[in-house]
Amino acid sequence: MNDTTITVRRKFDLTNFFLSYGFYILFAVMFVVCGIISPFFLTKDNLMQIMWGATTLLVVAAGGTFVIITGNMDMSVGSLALCSSAIAVYAMNHGAEFSHMVIIIFAVGAAVGAVNGILVTYCKLNSMLATLGMMTLLRGIALNITNGGAQTTLPDEFRMAADFKIGGIAVLIIVSLLILILFQCILRKTRFGAYCYAIGCSEESAKRIGLPIRKVKMAVYILSGICAAFVGFVTCCKVGTYSGTIGNEMEFDVVTVCVMGGTSLLGGRGNIFPGTFIGVVLLYLINNILALTGASPYIYPFAKGLVIFAAMYVDALKNYRRRT
Partner 1 sequence: MIRTIVSDRKKLLDLITLLAAVIFVIILSAAVPNFLSLNNVINVLEQLTTIGMLCLGMTFILIIGGIDLSMPAVLMAATVPGAMIMSKTGNVLVGVVIILGVGIIFGMINGIAIAKARMIPFIVTLSTQIIANGFAVMITNSKSVFGLPDVFLFLGIKIGIVPISIPIFFIIAVISHIILAKTKYGRIFYMIGQNENTARISGIRTDLYIFCTYIIASIYACIAGILLAARTNMAGATMVGNTMLTDTISAAVIGGASLSGGKGNIFGSVLGALFITVISNFINLMGYSYYVGLIIKGVLIVIIIALDRLRNRE
Tell me which H or E stretch contains 153: strand 152-153
Among residues 34, 60, 112, 130, the one that binds partner 1 under rule CB under 8 A: 130
x/- letters, 208..247, toward partner 1 (CB under 8 A): ----------------------------------------
Is residue 247 within 8 A of residue 139, CB to CB? The reply is no
Residue type at 298 in one-letter notation: Y
- Partnered with residue 169 across adjacent β-strands are 166
Integer angstrom CA distances of residue 248 from 57, 73, 108, 205: 12, 17, 18, 37
CA dihedral 3→187→238→86, nearest 10 degrees, is 100
**CB of 179 or CB of 285, closer to partner 1:** 285
Integer angstrom CA distances of residue 82 from 113, 153, 231, 280: 14, 15, 9, 20
Indicate whether 1 belongs to the interface with partner 1 (CB under 8 A): no
Residue type at 269 in one-letter notation: R
Q: How far is the CB of 148 from partner 1 (least distance, A)?
A: 6
Residue type at 202 in one-letter notation: S
**CB of 2 or CB of 147, closer to partner 1:** 147
Q: Where does this chain touch partner 1 (CB under 8 A) — which range of 21-29, 219-227, 272-280, 309-317?
A: 309-317
Q: What angle do CA 232, 233, 237 make, to 5 degrees?
A: 115
Q: How far is the CB of 157 from partner 1 (least distance, A)?
A: 28
Q: Report how far residue 309's alpha carbon sits from residue 218's, in angstroms, rounded to the nearest whole number.
A: 32
Q: How far is the CB of 275 from partner 1 (least distance, A)?
A: 15
**Backbone phi, then psi, for 166, in 5-degree steps?**
-120, 120
Among 227, 235, 220, residue whose Cα is nearest residue 251? 227
Indicate whether 139 belongs to the interface with partner 1 (CB under 8 A): yes
Q: How far is the CB of 178 from partner 1 (least distance, A)?
A: 30
Indicate whether 174 belongs to the interface with partner 1 (CB under 8 A): no
Among residues 43, 93, 126, 245, the one that binds partner 1 under rule CB under 8 A: 126
Indicate whether 252 belongs to the interface with partner 1 (CB under 8 A): yes
Indicate whether 122 belongs to the interface with partner 1 (CB under 8 A): no
Q: How far is the CB of 164 from partner 1 (least distance, A)?
A: 34
Q: Report how far residue 281's alpha carbon sits from residue 57's, in angstroms, rounded to the nearest whole number.
A: 9
Among residues 21, 125, 213, 218, the one that binds partner 1 under rule CB under 8 A: 125
Indicate whether 304 belongs to the interface with partner 1 (CB under 8 A): yes
Q: Report how far residue 86's alpha carbon sits from residue 80's, in angstroms, rounded to the nearest whole number.
A: 9
Which residues 92-121 are close enough to bind partner 1 by CB under 8 A?
119
Among residues 50, 98, 118, 133, the one that binds partner 1 under rule CB under 8 A: 133
Q: Which spans of this chain sit near partner 1 (rule: CB under 8 A)?
A: 119, 123-126, 128-130, 132-141, 143-144, 148, 249, 252, 255-256, 259, 265-266, 296, 298-306, 308-309, 312-313, 316-317, 319-320, 323
